[in-house]
Amino acid sequence: MSASKKGEAAKGSPKDSQKKSPKGSIWWREGVFYQIYPRSFKDTNGDGVGDLNGITDRLDYLNDGTENSLGIDAIWLSPINPSPMFDFGYDVSDYKDIDPAFGNLTDFKRLLKEAHKRGIRIVLDFVPNHTSHLHEWFLESRSSKDSPKRDWYIWQDRGSFRGGRPNNWQSVFGGPAWELDEKTGQFYYHHFLKEQPDLNWRNKKVRKAMYDQMRFWLDMGVDGFRLDVINHIFKDEKLRSNPYTIGIRPYDMQKHLYDKELPECVEVAREMRSVVDSYGKEGSGVERMLVGEVFSKDPVKAAEFYGNGMDRLNLVFNFDFFFNHFRAEAFREAISLWEDLLPDRAWPTYFLSNHDQPRHISRYGRGSEDEIVMRARVAATMLLTLKGTPFLYYGEEIGMRNLHIKKQDLQDPVGIRYWPVPVGRDMARTPMQWDDTVGVGFTQSSKPWLPINPNRSYINVKAELKNKDSLLSFYRNLIWKRKGTPSLTSGSIEILRGTPKGIFAYRRVKGDDSRLVLLNFKGCKRTIAQNIIGGEKEVRYSVDFSTHRAGGDDVKFPLEVWPYEATILR
C-alpha cells in the first residue's frame, strides 16, 4: 500500500534568541540535534571544501521557525579547529581558533549569532584524548626530556617488547601505538595516528589547560560539547600489556583492559560537567551540555558516564543501533537494556548514522528503491519517537547513501591503510546534495574534496522539497509533529511485549498526553491483538501520524499493520 496523507505537523513559531528555554523545558532533552560534517555541507569560496559561511547560509533550511524548514533545534559541528588534517580535524593544533579551511573566528561568531536568532544551539566537537603532533604543547614536550611539558604526554624509555616498545598496545588505525622519537630516544603513545599523540590526563596541569580551552568557547556562547572518545583518556599507570584474543586486525586481537575504559575516565567526566554547569545548571533555561562518545560494546561501561544522571555527562551516545541489524527484536532489546541501566534521572540519546559509520539507509536498505525508503521511514519514526534525544546526520533526511570511492580519491587514513577492505569512513562523508547540478549546490569547484554521489539526480534537497511524499517531507513533518507532542519530547516510555515478530510497539506518556507507536520492520503484514495493547476492552484510537494511514482516521484492535508501516496513534 502506498503512503497516503500524513497527520498534520505541529505548529512552530520563530524564536528571536536562544537566551532561555521555556520554563520546565530542557533543550538538550527535548530538541532534535543535527550533526554537520563541515567539509561536506556547503562550500562558499569555491575551494571544494565546506565552510562556516556555508552553514550560516543554510540555517533557514534547518530551522526558520516555520514548518517549511526541517525544524532542528541544535547543531553538532564536527571539528573546526586548526589542524594539519591527518585525521580531518581530530588532530587539533590549536583549540582556540578556527581552521582557515572553514573560515575564521569572525565567521564562527556570525554563525553562532545567526543560529541563536533562529533558536538553534551550537555544540562543538571537543577532542580531549590527544592533540596534533604539531600542537605547541607537543612541540615543546618533544623538544627535550627536561621540557616542562614533557609529562603532558605519555613518554616511555625503550622496553623489552618487539622493536624496543614499552608494551604490546596497538593503534586503532593500525600498527603499534608507540612511536620512537629519535631526538630524545623515547617512545610516545598514540592510540590513533602517530600524528595524534595522547595527552597525559594524570597530569593536573593538562586537565586545567583543557578545561581552559572549553571555557574559551563557553565564554563565546557555545552551548556545549560532544566529547570525542572520552572513554580513552586514561591508560594503565603500569602500562601493562593487553591480553590477546581472537580478531581480524591486530587491534581486535587484544582485550583492551589497560589502554582504554579505565575508571578514571568517568571522574574526568564529572570535572567537565562542573565546568559547563558553572555557566548554567540543568533546569536553569540557559544550561550548557555535554554528550560523550563512548564507543563500546559494553553498555554497562557507557552508562557509567551518566553518574547519577546529574553529575557527569548530560548525554552518552548509545552505539547499539550501529551494531544492530534491521530487526524489531534487536532494537527492542537494546532499548530495554539501556532503559534498565540508566539512573532514574538520566536521559537516553540515539542516532542511526554519523561521520565514522556507514550510513544507516545503506546498512538497512535492501530490495527496491521503494523498499529502501520505506525502511528508512520506519527507522526515522523510531528515532524521533523514542524516549531520548535524537541525533540526525546531515543528509539522512534526504536519504543520502554510502558511496564506493575509488582508491585514488580516498582521503580517510583508515580507508587508505586498509584498502581494499571497505572499512574507511569516506563513504559516509560525501558532499551534501542540495540539487541535481554537477556540484550538487555544494560547490562551484570542479574538484570537491570527495566525489559526489551519482544518485544526485533524484536524491537532493531541491527535488524532495517539491515532493510531499519524499523522505525529506516525511522527516520534516515528523520533526514538527514531535515538537508539538509533549509525550514524544519528554514523556515516559512503556515497551509493549508479546507483539508479532517484526513489530516494535511502545507507548509514550506525559501527563494526559499519550501516544502509541507501531513499527513494522517486516515486508509483510502483521496483526496486533487487542490484549497486546493492554486490556480486553476495546479502545478506539485515531491516527496522529502515519506512513500508510490518513491523519484522523479511527483505528481499533486487532489491527492489521501494513508492510514497513510506521504509525503514531492517539
Q: What is the pLDDT of residues 533-556, one digit of tens each?
A: 987 678 889 999 999 999 999 999
pLDDT score for 401: 98
**Of 99, 125, 198, 228, which residue is the catalytic one?**
228
At 514 the three-state DSSP class reads: strand
- Give the mean pLDDT of 262-279: 97
Q: Which amino acid appears at position 268 of this protein?
A: V
- Specify whether 293 is catalytic: yes
CA 209 to chain CA centroid, Å, is 26
Q: How far apart are CA 556 and CA 536, in angstroms?
A: 12
Residue 115 has pLDDT above 50, yes or no: yes
pLDDT score for 282: 76
Contact assessment for residue 374 and residue 367, using Cβ atoms and an 8 Å cutoff: no
Q: How confident is the model at residue 20 (pLDDT cuts 50, 70, 90)?
A: low
Residue whose C-alpha cell reads 532533552 in the numeric block: 29
Q: How confident is the model at residue 1 (pLDDT cuts 50, 70, 90)?
A: very low
- Specify whether 228 is catalytic: yes
Counting residues of the chain whose pLDDT is more than 70, the rounded percentage is: 95
Domain limits, the chain: 27-130+204-230+265-483, 136-189, 491-569
* Beta strand pairing call for 224-227 and 186-189: unpaired
- pLDDT single digits (tens) 35-73: 999 999 999 999 999 999 999 999 999 999 999 999 999
- pLDDT single digits (tens) 176-197: 999 999 999 999 999 999 999 9
How far CA 130 is from CA of 212, 227, 462, in Å, comes to: 16, 12, 40
How far CA 537 is from CA of 465, 477, 534, 558, in Å, comes to: 43, 32, 8, 11
- pLDDT single digits (tens) 293-311: 998 888 899 999 998 878 9
Residue 18 has pLDDT above 60, yes or no: no
CATH number (3.20.20.80, 3.90.870.10, 3.40.50.150, 3.30.70.360) of 27-130+204-230+265-483 reads 3.20.20.80
pLDDT score for 366: 85
pTM of this structure: 0.94
pLDDT score for 365: 86
pLDDT score for 23: 53
- pLDDT single digits (tens) 396-427: 999 999 999 999 999 999 899 888 887 899 99
Q: Which CATH architecture has domain 136-189?
A: Alpha-Beta Complex (3.90)
Among 111, 121, 38, which residue's Cα sits nearest to residue 72?
A: 121
Annotate 16-42 with b (16+ C-beta within 10 A) or e (fewer).
eebeebeeeebbbbbbbbbbbbbbbbb
- Helices (H) then strands (E): counts for the chain: 17, 19
Average pLDDT of the chain is 94
- Give the mean pLDDT of 431-444: 98
**Of 51, 223, 287, 293, which residue is the catalytic one?**
293
- pLDDT single digits (tens) 119-149: 999 999 999 999 999 999 999 999 999 999 9
CATH number (2.20.25.90, 2.60.40.1180, 1.10.8.50, 3.40.50.970) of 491-569 reads 2.60.40.1180
- pLDDT single digits (tens) 361-389: 999 988 999 999 999 999 999 999 999 99
pLDDT score for 105: 99
- Give the mean pLDDT of 252-267: 97
Residue 450 has pLDDT above 70, yes or no: yes
Residue 22 has pLDDT above 80, yes or no: no
Q: How confident is the model at residue 21 (pLDDT cuts 50, 70, 90)?
A: low
